[in-house]
Amino acid sequence: MTTQQTGAEEVLWDLSDLYKSPADPALEHDLTTIVARADAFRTEWRGRIATASDQDIDALLRTYEELTELLDKMGSYTHLLWSTDTENPENGRLLQRVREIGTSASQLLFFVPIDFAALPTERLQALASSPLHASRAHWFERTRKYGPHMLDERLEQVLGEKALTARYAWVRLYDELQNAKVIELNGREYTESAILKLLYESDRSTRKAAAEAFSKGLADGVKTHAFIFNTVLADCASNDRMRNYPTWVSSRNLDNEVSDATVETLVSAVVDRYDLVHRFFALKKRLLGIEEMQDYDRYAPVGGDQTFWSWEDARNIVVKAYTDFHPEAGEIAAMFFDKSWIHAPVYKGKSGGAYSAGTVPSAHPYVFMNYMGTNRDVMTLAHELGHGIHQYLSRRQGILLADTPLTIAETASVFGEMVVFSMLMERTTDPQARLALLVGKIDDILATVFRQIGLNRFENAIHRARRSEGELTVDRLNELWMETQRAQFGTSVTLTENYRHWWSYISHFMHTPGYVYAYAFGELLVLALYEIYKRDGGTFPEQYMDLLRSGGSKSPEDLLSPLGLDINDPAFWNIGLSAIERLISEAEALAATQ
Cβ count near 509 (within 10 Å): 24
Instruction: Please report the sign of the dihedral spanned by the C-alpha atoms of residue 135, residue 139, residue 140, residue 141.
Output: positive
pTM: 0.87
Coil vs helix vs strand at 342 = strand
- Identify the DSSP state of 187: T
pLDDT in the model for residue 3: 62
Backbone angles phi, psi at 496, to 5 degrees: -75, 165
At position 315, the amino acid (one-letter code) is R
**Domain spanning 166-307+432-594: CATH superfamily:** Oligoendopeptidase f, C-terminal domain (1.10.1370.20)
374 touches 200 (CB < 8 A): yes
pLDDT in the model for residue 505: 93
Of all residues in the chain, what percent carry a pLDDT higher than 90? 85
- CA distance linking residue 333 with residue 382, whole number of Å: 9
CA separation (Å) from 330 to 133, 291, 336, 388? 33, 45, 10, 12
Backbone angles phi, psi at 184, to 5 degrees: -95, 135
- CA distance linking residue 382 with residue 318, whole number of Å: 6
Which 3-state string (H, E, C) describes 385-400? HHHHHHHHHHHHHCCC
At position 59, the amino acid (one-letter code) is A
pLDDT in the model for residue 429: 87
Query: 499: Cβ–Cβ under 8 A, 6 or more apart, which residues?
Result: 211, 215, 295, 482, 485
Over the Cα atoms of the chain, what is R_g?
A: 24
Topology at the third CATH level for domain 17-165: Butyryl-CoA Dehydrogenase, subunit A; domain 3 (1.20.140)
pLDDT in the model for residue 535: 86
pLDDT in the model for residue 568: 87
pLDDT in the model for residue 538: 80
281 touches 489 (CB < 8 A): yes
183 touches 210 (CB < 8 A): no
Residue ranges per structural domain of the chain: 17-165, 166-307+432-594
pLDDT in the model for residue 304: 63
Q: What is the pLDDT along the chain (594 residues), one digit of tens a residue?
A: 446 899 999 999 999 999 999 999 999 999 999 999 999 999 999 999 999 999 999 999 999 999 999 999 999 999 999 999 999 999 999 999 999 999 999 999 999 999 999 999 999 999 999 999 999 999 999 999 999 999 998 998 898 888 888 888 999 999 989 888 889 999 999 988 889 999 999 999 999 999 999 999 999 999 999 999 999 999 999 999 999 999 999 999 999 999 999 999 999 999 999 999 999 999 999 999 999 999 999 999 998 656 789 999 999 999 999 999 999 999 999 999 999 999 999 998 999 889 999 999 999 999 999 999 988 899 999 999 999 999 999 999 999 999 998 889 989 999 999 999 999 888 888 888 899 999 999 999 999 999 999 999 999 999 999 999 999 999 999 999 999 999 999 999 999 999 999 999 999 999 999 999 999 999 999 999 999 898 887 889 999 999 999 999 999 999 999 998 999 888 999 999 999 999 999 999 999 998
